[in-house]
């Protein structure tokens, strides 16, 4: 586990820490929970109540939710106003959009199945989704946090829409100041390895509280020594404007993607560290294994003699190189067509985050699949199939479609001609 022993500070609201905390823990990390902000219902709910009433009376065409908090607070307010039933009823008749999979899941829990998602889980993704529609004269409702920027409103108005923004909730400084002070102390004491910022509010809060309760310059110096992770381009931009290097930003704006990206960062660091620990004999062994591997009864004795060491020492070194991840595999690659595997393909699938684990497991259970990996692209899951015939490939594709993947979400790239690239590395 690449995060083993790494302390990861999680600074999002207390009621939202569990998911990221569990993800970090599952990867071997140590979650350090220190909420810097908390979410409260908006004090002035006039704009939100108006949006709810306009929706309930059929005066909106589109409603877009930008967060789980927005969903929770909007429906709680509708319930308090006695408008929950009519509000829900009319939402089912109009275009309902969610900024991302978690917000979509929140809407689905309430009973909505007509939720659309942008390809990119961000304000930009939402704009790209709606600019495909004729928005002229359309009325769009945006229940949001207090004090957010006007990018969405301005963009939709330029496309001809009438936009109703409503303050659904407020993001405030946390009331648990002792946790904030502990975080600042432990940052300065270099007890934190990673800090994960999930919104601009968390960045602002740390800076303001560092100024209030400690030495801001010391905190800044400490932040420059650790790994900074962020969700979203806005959060990253704020950190960079403050002079910090952001080492980790996932392309998908979810906490699961953030945890995975943190893990990937340390995998790369560990790999580089392992390479630095190799000596000249290790490099001689790596070269010998790449070039002209001997087809003899006792290949290890043959290679050991060529290098000038005994076979036990050679095998011990090879075992170490495998454990470090420097050597991934030693083995033969048969000509698959000659042994009866006549069809192969590369497949890209567009998978929503909430279905990713299910579909990954289905694909991994197929014996004909040799590789299955995530990519930062709208087609985010890619796998290769080597099969006896094209019917076997079609059956695997049908299995994937049976869990809700459409034809448009599958990119099938069958092998037409094979080119074998001989890649070897000269190390000495």
Q: Does domain 277-323 have CATH number 1.10.10?
A: yes
pLDDT given at position 332: 81
Whether pLDDT at 353 is above 80: no
Whether pLDDT at 91 is above 80: yes
Kindly state the average pLDDT of the residues 117-131: 87
Question: Alpha carbon 129 to chain centroid distance?
Answer: 20
Whether pLDDT at 382 is above 90: yes
Pick the CATH number of 41-171 from 3.30.70.3270, 3.30.565.10, 3.40.50.10090, 3.40.50.300: 3.40.50.10090
Whether pLDDT at 348 is above 80: yes
Q: Which among 22-31, 148-157, 268-277, 401-410 has the top mean pLDDT?
A: 22-31
**% of the chain exceeding 90 in pLDDT:** 64
Give the model confidence (pLDDT) of 169-202 as tens digits. 998 999 999 999 999 999 999 999 999 998 899 9
CATH topology classification for 337-414 = Alpha-Beta Plaits (3.30.70)
- Residue bearing the bigger pLDDT, 368 or 232: 368
- Residue bearing the bigger pLDDT, 133 or 142: 142
Indicate where the chain has its CATH 1.10.10 domain(s). 277-323
Give the model confidence (pLDDT) of 5-37 as tens digits. 999 999 999 988 999 999 999 999 999 999 999
Burial 1-32 (b: 16+ CB within 10 A, else e): ebbeebbbbbbbbbebbeebbebbeebebbbb
Indicate where the chain has its CATH 3.40.50.10090 domain(s). 7-36+174-271, 41-171
Kindly state the average pLDDT of the residues 118-126: 85
Whether pLDDT at 1 is above 70: no
Kindly state the average pLDDT of the residues 235-239: 91
Indicate where the chain has its CATH 3.30.70.3460 domain(s). 337-414
Task: Name which of 161-165, 202-206, 300-304, 350-354 the model is least confident about.
Answer: 350-354
Burial 39-49 (b: 16+ CB within 10 A, else e): bebbeebebbb
Cβ neighbours for 241, distance < 8 A, ≥ 6 positions apart: none
d(CA 26, CA 172) in angstroms, rounded, equals 30
Whether pLDDT at 347 is above 90: yes
pLDDT given at position 377: 79
Please give the structure tokens belonging to residue 38: 């908390």
d(CA 132, CA 119) in angstroms, rounded, equals 13
Three-class SS of the chain:
CCCCCCEEEECCCHHHHHHHHHHHHHCCCEEEECCCEEEEECCCCHHHHHHHHHHHCCCCCEEEECCHHHHHHHHHHHHHCCCHHHHHHHHCCCEEEECCHHHHHHHHHHCCCCEECCCCCCHHHHHHHHCCCCCCCCEEEEEEECCCCCHHHHHHHHCCCEEEEEEEEEEEECCCHHHHHHHHHHHHCCCCCEEEECCHHHHHHHHHHHHHHCCHHHHHHHHCCCEEEECCHHHHHHHHHCCCCCCECCCCCCHHHHHHHHHHHHHHHHHHHHHHCCCHHHHHHHHHHHCCCCCCCCHHHHHHHHHCCCHHHHHHHHHHHHHCCCCCCCCCCCCHHHHCCCEEEEEEECCCHHHHHHHHHHHHCCCCEEEEEECCCCCCEEEEEEECCHHHHHHHHHHHHCCCCCHHHEEEEECCCCCCCCCCCCCC
CATH number of 7-36+174-271: 3.40.50.10090
Q: Specify the residue for token string 């001809």.
A: 160
Q: Specify the residue for token string 């009319």.
A: 90
Kindly state the average pLDDT of the residues 236-265: 89
Among 101, 72, 71, which residue's Cα sits nearest to residue 256? Answer: 101
pLDDT given at position 101: 84
Whether pLDDT at 426 is above 90: no
d(CA 114, CA 65) in angstroms, rounded, equals 13
Model confidence at 116, in pLDDT bands (50, 70, 90)? Answer: very high
């Amino acid at each position: 586990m690449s995060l083993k022993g790494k302390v990861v500070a999680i600074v999002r609201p207390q009621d939202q820490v569990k998911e990221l905390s569990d993800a970090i823990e599952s990867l071997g990390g140590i979650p350090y929970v220190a909420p810097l902000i908390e979410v409260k219902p908006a004090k002035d709910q006039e704009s939100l109540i108006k949006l709810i009433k306009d929706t309930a009376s059929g005066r909106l065409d589109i409603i877009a939710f930008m967060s789980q908090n927005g969903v929770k607070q909007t429906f709680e307010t509708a319930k308090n106003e006695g408008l929950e039933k009519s509000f829900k009823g009319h939402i089912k008749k109009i275009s309902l959009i969610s900024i991302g999979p978690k917000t979509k899941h929140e809407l689905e829990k309430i009973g909505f199945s007509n939720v659309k998602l942008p390809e990119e889980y961000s304000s930009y993704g939402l704009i790209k989704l709606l600019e495909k529609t004729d928005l002229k004269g359309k009325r769009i409702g945006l229940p949001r946090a207090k004090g957010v920027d006007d990018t969405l409103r301005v963009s939709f108005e330029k496309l001809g829409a009438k936009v109703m923004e409503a303050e659904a909730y407020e993001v405030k400084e946390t009331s648990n100041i002792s946790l904030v002070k502990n975080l600042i102390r432990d940052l300065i004491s270099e007890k934190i390895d990673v800090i994960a910022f999930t919104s601009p509010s968390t960045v602002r809060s740390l800076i303001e509280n560092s100024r209030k309760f400690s030495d801001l310059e010391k905190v800044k110096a400490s932040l420059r020594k650790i790994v900074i992770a962020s969700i979203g381009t806005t959060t990253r931009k704020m950190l960079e404007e403050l002079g910090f290097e952001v080492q980790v930003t996932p392309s998908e704006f979810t906490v699961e993607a953030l945890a995975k990206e943190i893990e990937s960062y340390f995998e790369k660091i560990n790999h580089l560290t392992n390479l630095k620990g190799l000596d000249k004999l290790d490099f001689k062994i790596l070269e010998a294994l790449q070039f002209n591997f001997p087809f003899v009864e006792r290949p290890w004795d043959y290679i050991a003699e060529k290098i000038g060491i005994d076979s036990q020492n050679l095998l011990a070194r090879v075992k170490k190189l495998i454990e470090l991840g420097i050597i991934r595999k030693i083995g033969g690659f048969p000509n698959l067509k000659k042994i009866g595997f006549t069809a192969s393909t590369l497949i890209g699938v567009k998978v929503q985050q909430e279905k990713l684990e299910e579909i990954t497991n289905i694909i991994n259970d197929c014996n004909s699949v040799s590789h299955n990996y995530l990519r930062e692209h709208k087609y985010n899951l890619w796998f290769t199939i080597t099969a006896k015939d094209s019917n076997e490939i079609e059956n695997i594709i049908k299995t994937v479609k049976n869990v809700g993947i459409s034809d448009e979400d599958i990119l099938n790239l069958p092998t037409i001609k094979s080119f074998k690239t001989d890649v070897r590395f000269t190390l000495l």
